[in-house]
Amino acid sequence: QKPEVNSSSVAKSSSKPYGKIELSLNNVLLPEDKLTNTPSRLDGMEPDTETDLRVLGCELIQTAGILLKLPQVAMATGQVLFQRFYYSKSFVRHSMDTTAMACVCLASKIEEAPRRIRDVVNVFHHIRQVNAQKPITPMVLDQHYIALKTQVIKAERRVLKELGFCVHVKHPHKLIVMYLQVLGFEKNKSFMQLSWNYMNDALRSDVF
């Protein structure tokens, strides 16, 4: 006679602990120790190097967004996701290029302007050629290309997981326009454009 199996004990032993992310007004800003002791710095990366990689990654996202004809809000969202991800994970362990591509794909979906992974990969390939001042040639659809697409898909999932699927971003651009209108600067186009440019440049920093 076979021994009886207690279903409750089986369920208990097979259950896995899951993490959770709680957002409230008390934790919307990263504390100073998180901003200073980032995963990259804990892995031995110099602060200036990390800052350069953050700026470079955001510039790649902005340039790729322009070439993909994404709305500015999608490019801004991609940069915010990129910045937030690297306060959870290290540049040493996670490719900056691949993560930037993943953030473009994810942001395009969030802002309802989806772009295919193939197009994103091709655009980043084009940007690399331009930056290296190499002849512009199409990307070869070989095993490396397939592997890169797979890496981007995995990176997109990783970003979602690390951010706890809290990926909707409220950008302050609209507030800037409202403030300028209240202050009576709505007809000063150059001043409004300058304010808008500052907001876009601030995406390279950790203020968002």
Please give the Cα distance from 88 to 21 (Å, whole number).
12
Confidence of residue 6 (pLDDT cuts 50, 70, 90): low
Range of the domain at 181: 171-203
Residue 86, helix vs strand vs coil: coil
Residues 35-85: tens digit of each pLDDT: 778 899 999 999 999 999 999 999 999 999 999 999 999 999 999 999 999
Q: Identify the band that residue 7 occupies on the pLDDT scale cut at 50, 70 and 90.
A: very low
Give dist(CA 35, CA 196) in Å, integer. Answer: 25
Question: Could you tell me if residue 179 is inside a domain?
Answer: yes
Whether 188 and 175 map to the same domain: the answer is yes
Q: Do 157 and 177 lie in a common domain?
A: no
Residues 186 and 112 in one domain: no
| Contact call for residues 208 and 80 (beta carbons, < 8 A) | yes
Q: Where is pLDDT greater, at 74 or 33?
A: 74
Flag whether 154 is in a domain.
yes
The pLDDT tens digits of the residues spanning 155-189 come to: 999 999 998 888 887 777 778 888 888 888 888 88
Q: What is the pLDDT of residues 95-143, one digit of tens each?
A: 999 999 999 999 999 999 999 999 999 999 999 999 988 888 888 888 9
Indicate if 85 and 153 belong to the same structural domain.
yes
d(CA 202, CA 196): 10
Question: Which class for 14: exposed (0-12), middle (13-18), buried (19 or more C-beta within 10 A)?
Answer: exposed
Whether residue 121 sits in one domain with residue 190 = no
Q: Which pair of structure tokens corresponds to residue 148?
A: 């890169």
| Rounded Cα–Cα distance for residues 167 and 35 (Å) | 19
What is the reported pTM?
0.79
Specify the pLDDT at position 25: 45
Higher pLDDT, 205 or 75: 75
Position 67 in a domain: yes
Mean pLDDT of the chain: 84
pLDDT of residue 68: 96
Q: Residue 143 belongs to a domain with what CATH number?
A: 1.10.472.10
Please give the share of the chain, as a percent, with pLDDT higher than 90: 51
Q: Do 127 and 193 belong together in one domain?
A: no
